[in-house]
Amino acid sequence: MSGRSTADGEEATRRGTDAGELGVPKAEMCESLLELKSILLEGVADGVIAHTPDGEIIYANTRCAEILGITHEQLISSGRYGWTDTGDAAAFQERVRRIRQTGGTVFESKRTRPDGATVYIEVHSRTVNVLPWGELLVSVSRDVTARVAAQEALRRLAFHDSLTGLGNRLMLHDRMEHALATTSKDGEIVGVVYMDLDDFKPVNDAHGHDVGDRVLRIVGERLQHCVRDTDTIARVGGDEFIALFPDVADGFDLRAKAQALAECVSQSMAVDGIELKVTMTVGLATHEHGESIDDLIRRADLAMYESKTKGRPGWEDFQPAE
């Protein structure tokens, strides 16, 4: 039979409750738990950083530094705000203010690493109170560069022609919506040139579709080089293209641009040692007040077919807008 008294048993029970199952003093156990949590955070796939509202880093795991493309020592020694995407005290404090108001926020940050690579980071931030520092902001950062690249690839597939890399009808429609909304305020004229290659089918028949595809790519490159960055070239059919000019001066200006496009395309090209020359017929249309995008494109398309009946290459006769 044990010689321990009831009081001794109660004391042991009390000490076990204070110290936990480890049987160590509570303060030591807390330190051990903090060390354990720090070790666990080193093993997670996301970056974790805790800092004061004025940008002083209290804790950061190694993964956080890896995402930024720097060493852990460089991250810790980067100073106040130096590790942020803004690097600016005022911008940082504004973000902190918003986090304080809401208790937490999610935002995306684009960073350029020291090696020149671009990384996209999704950041989840919230405020916590931790002794002895008081209020801290804890952010969990995830490298979403692969996800952003996949989204961009999908967006490109949705808005671009897979053969030539030019815009497609969806992009053209989007650009035209923007152009019409802008020009309605600025008083500029939106012009459209509808282009169709002449006798393109014989190229495919005589030399094969591989050669024909390369011809289309060359035509697309030439058209793209013949316009400004603010203009849009789209492939809208097998051998049909549309040029959107958001700010032409008048119908005569549009005709000059169309002629430049036709001359650019008509220069001879060599494909697999085969000397080829293609021409195109164009139709012109300038936007009329209240006209829909589809109607504007349809008028340019009809003008192109009218021009086909008059001989090729060429363009329709039009009356400049008054």
pTM of the model: 0.61
Within 8 A by CB and 6+ apart from 230, the residues are 246, 247
- Calculate the average pLDDT of the chain: 84
In order of start, what are the domains of the chain with their CATH numbers? Answer: 43-148 (3.30.450.20), 160-308 (3.30.70.270)
Collect all residues with Cβ–Cβ distance below 8 Å to 254 and sequence separation of at least 6. Answer: 189, 191, 193, 245, 248, 284, 286
| Distance separating alpha carbons of residues 103 and 140, to the nearest angstrom | 14
Q: What is the pLDDT along the chain (322 residues), one digit of tens a residue?
A: 444 444 444 444 444 444 445 454 555 544 555 566 667 778 788 999 999 988 889 899 999 999 999 999 999 998 888 888 766 778 888 888 888 888 888 989 899 999 999 999 999 999 988 777 788 999 999 999 999 999 988 888 889 999 999 999 999 999 999 999 887 666 679 999 999 999 898 898 889 999 999 999 999 999 999 999 999 999 999 999 999 999 998 888 999 999 999 999 999 999 988 899 899 999 999 999 889 999 999 999 999 988 888 765 445 544 333 3
The pLDDT value recorded for residue 313 is: 47
Q: Each residue of 22-53: pLDDT tens digit?
A: 454 555 544 555 566 667 778 788 999 999 98
- For Cα atoms 307, 309, 310, give the angle at the middle one, nearest 5 degrees: 65
Work out the burial of residue 290: count CB atoms within 10 Å of its CB; fewer than 13 is exposed, 13-18 middle, 19 or more buried: exposed
Which are the contacts of 176, defined by CB distance < 8 A and separation ≥ 6? 190, 192, 244, 293, 296
Beta carbons of 51 and 136 less than 8 angstroms apart: yes
What does the pLDDT look like over 143-196, one tens digit per residue? Answer: 999 999 999 888 888 899 999 999 999 999 999 999 998 876 666 799 999 999
Tokens of 279: 């021409």
